[in-house]
Chains A and B, each alone.
Chain A
Amino acid sequence: MDGNMSGNTLQERRQGAMQVLSHAPAADIALRMAELPLPPYQQLRAPENGLVMVRGRIGGDGAPFNLGEATVSRAAIRLHSGEVGFGYVLGRDGEKARLIALCDALIQSPDHASAIEAKVVAPLRAEMRAARDQAAAQAAATRVDFYTMVRGEG
């Protein structure tokens, strides 16, 4: 996962937000969304669960095969101003899919994009980065350099 700051184009901003939101717990997203004034919106597609076939390739470039099915939840929301947001998440958390769809729609709205980025996406991104850095630091503390092992001698 990259976790870069939001890009310039709308597509990059949406992708950047999805990278964060898809990994964040639903409760955290809901907590931060609750602080924001939300515009009126309509559910185009109520949260629903389904299966998607996950396909793979042996060695990355072999013939495709069906690896197995994964549970996916999805939702779609339209703001009354016209922006349509989509949310797809692995698992059966329909509420998370709904929240992500709502965020996706708000990011496309000029009136709400900056608030969502500042109040929801950026704090979650910072939390996620801190957690990852901590895990990396803990792993680094136990790192061993095998400098005594020299290959090819003997």
Chain B
Amino acid sequence: MQSLDHALQPGFADKVLSAQATFRTVMEAMARPGQVMQVEDGVGRPPSMMAGVAAIALTLFDQETPIWLDAPLSGAPDIGAWLKFHTGAPIVADPALASFALVAAPEQLPDLRSFALGSADYPDRSTTLVLQVASLSVGPMCQLRGPGIDGTVSLCASIAPADLFARLSINEALFPRGIDVILVDGRSLVAIPRTTRLAAAGG
């Protein structure tokens, strides 16, 4: 079974419908920051990659989206091969060149300014961070506000790094440039787009 663990894994069983459903879910999550969404089950993936991350990768990555992997993911031999086979996305060493960054150990997340922040003319050319976090259902509660949120929304989550929202405050000064984040736990995902602010922490 050792060889199977490192062997190439399949992707979506039904490529078109699953990618459409995942796209819809991610779009909905970006429109409703702080709300936990579920991607459908049954996506083939390397063992160390969460189902939600695999679904996002199969849906959004292609030859024109450079990918940056953090140390645990780039060290795993099967991740790069799987991404290359199913998405064709180039893997880059410089986070400033990446359209997406996949992070399996978010507690070691590098400084956000090392990622692409977009330009004033093309603010969309920034890196979208996809973080694998411990839990999106239990953990410290925080209140979020911003476009797409009626008042505030509560998010209970065990997120690393602990100061993620403090770090994301660079988005306030950068706007319209900035970093968008998707937090993933298994099949669940929460989007924190660049316009979302921390209203209150604790609880």
A125 interface residue per 8 A CB criterion: no
CB distance from A67 to the nearest CB of B (A): 21
CB distance from B61 to the nearest CB of A (A): 15
Contacts of B113 in A (CB 8 A): none
Q: Identify whether the interface residues of A are mostly helix, strand, loop, or mixed.
A: strand
A48 interface residue per 8 A CB criterion: yes
The reply to whether B4 and A43 form a contact with Cβ atoms under 8 Å apart is no
Q: Identify whether the interface residues of B are mostly helix, strand, loop, or mixed.
A: loop
Find B10's partner among A44, A80, A81, A82 (CB 8 Å cutoff): A44
Residue numbers of B with Cβ under 8 A of A are 3-4, 7-11, 13-15, 85-86
Chain B, residue nearest A44 (CB): B10
Find A82's partner among B3, B15, B85, B86 (CB 8 Å cutoff): B3
Residue numbers of A with Cβ under 8 A of B are 42-46, 48, 76, 78, 80-82, 84
Given A44-B85, A46-B15, A80-B4 contact (CB < 8 Å): yes
The reply to whether B10 and A43 form a contact with Cβ atoms under 8 Å apart is yes
A44-B8, A48-B15, A84-B8 are known contacts; what are 6 more A-B pairs with Cβ within 8 Å?
A44-B10, A44-B11, A45-B11, A46-B13, A76-B85, A78-B10
CB distance from A45 to the nearest CB of B (A): 7
Interface centre among B4, B10, B14, B15 (most CB of A within 10 A): B10
Contacts of B15 in A (CB 8 A): 46, 48
26 A-B pairs with CB atoms under 8 Å apart are: A42-B10, A43-B10, A44-B8, A44-B9, A44-B10, A44-B11, A44-B85, A45-B10, A45-B11, A45-B85, A45-B86, A46-B13, A46-B14, A46-B15, A48-B15, A76-B85, A78-B7, A78-B8, A78-B10, A80-B4, A81-B3, A82-B3, A82-B4, A82-B7, A84-B7, A84-B8
CB distance from A148 to the nearest CB of B (A): 61
Q: How far is the CA of A76 from the CA of B13 in the complex (A)?
A: 13
Interface centre among A44, A76, A81, A84 (most CB of B within 10 A): A44
Contacts of B10 in A (CB 8 A): 42-45, 78
